[in-house]
Amino acid sequence: MSYNIRHANPPSKKDVVELESIANVIRKESVDLVALQEVDVGIARSGNANQAEALAQLLGMHFYFAKAIDFGGGEYGVAILSRYPLTDTRKVPLPEEAEPNAEDRVLALATVQLPGGQRVRFGSTHLDVLSGANRLQQVQTINAIAGSEQLPFILGGDLNDLPDSPAMAALDQAFQRTCQINCEPTFPQDRPDRIIDYIVFSRAFNLKVLSQYVVPESYASDHRPVVAVLELLPGTVNR
């Protein structure tokens, strides 16, 4: 799943935080891996909670949080939730040379230890909202990381760009989208009319998309979550 959770603030309720509502959305889909965006840690507006840790506890999952910026006395960024153990976690700052005053963006990465000894790399990111040139640079950085990965690489994120944008065309050079035709919109949550949230996987490995859908959830956040079921085919674990 990829899910921009809007720090668990339902759009219909100003200054209200309902982390349990976000947890319920994730729990209902029974997903193994979640890429989260707009996550608060130690910020007053969300009760100074570590939202990544709290969601992990509610769901019985492992977590990794990567700060993008300091905000409201705490940290704001992206996170990974996993039903399976996480190792080799790291944060990659993403470039913004085209518009240096833009909000800092990061990529969170982790190795996921799947049952049976298989491993995958999983990432969560949230690209620049204002500058298409920044988004293109950020995608190029992610593509370079994918090119050096020795494990199947799956990425979820709010990429803040439309399917036919230059940044998405660049991403297609290294990744395959889990939905390529007749894809459902993800934003805004009440009357979605655009696709800006995606799950993709590295073309260097042979993964199969078994299903992909947008969850018709219109309360908990201003984005609808995207879910994909992927199969690791024989010979995909290592290059």
| Degrees, nearest 5: CA angle 191-32-182 | 35
pLDDT in tens, 85-105: 999 999 999 999 999 999 999
What is the C-alpha separation between 135 and 191, in angstroms, rounded?
A: 25
**Residue among 147, 183, 191 at smallest CA distance from 164:** 183
Residue 6 has pLDDT above 60, yes or no: yes
**pLDDT at residue 116, as a whole number:** 86
H/E element, 166: helix 166-171
**pLDDT at residue 235, as a whole number:** 67
What is the C-alpha separation between 174 and 23, in angstroms, rounded?
A: 32
The proportion of the chain whose per-residue pLDDT surpasses 70, expressed as a percent, equals 98
pLDDT in tens, 205-232: 989 999 999 999 999 999 999 999 999 9
Residue 110: strand, helix, or coil: strand
What is the C-alpha separation between 107 and 168, in angstroms, rounded?
A: 16
Number of other residues whose CB lies within 10 A of the CB of residue 194: 12
When pLDDT is cut at 50, 70 and 90, the band that residue 239 belongs to is: very low
**pLDDT at residue 236, as a whole number:** 60
When pLDDT is cut at 50, 70 and 90, the band that residue 40 belongs to is: very high
What is the C-alpha separation between 199 and 157, in angstroms, rounded?
A: 7
Residue 19 has pLDDT above 70, yes or no: yes
What is the C-alpha separation between 113 and 49, in angstroms, rounded?
A: 27
All domains in the chain, ordered by first residue: 2-232 (3.60.10.10)
For 78, residues 6+ apart whose C-beta sits below 8 A from its C-beta are: 35, 36, 37, 38, 39, 65, 66, 68, 106, 107, 108, 124, 125, 126, 157
Mean pLDDT of the chain: 96
Residue 237 has pLDDT above 60, yes or no: no
Q: Are 95 and 137 in contact (CB under 8 A)?
A: yes
Computed on alpha carbons and rounded to an integer, the radius of gyration of the chain in Å comes to 16
pLDDT in tens, 162-195: 999 999 999 999 999 999 999 999 999 999 999 9
Q: Residue 91: beta bridge partners?
A: 108
When pLDDT is cut at 50, 70 and 90, the band that residue 234 belongs to is: confident
Name residue 66's amino acid. A
Q: Dmax over Cα atoms in the chain, in whole Å?
A: 49
pTM: 0.96
**pLDDT at residue 74, as a whole number:** 98
DSSP class of residue 170 equals: H
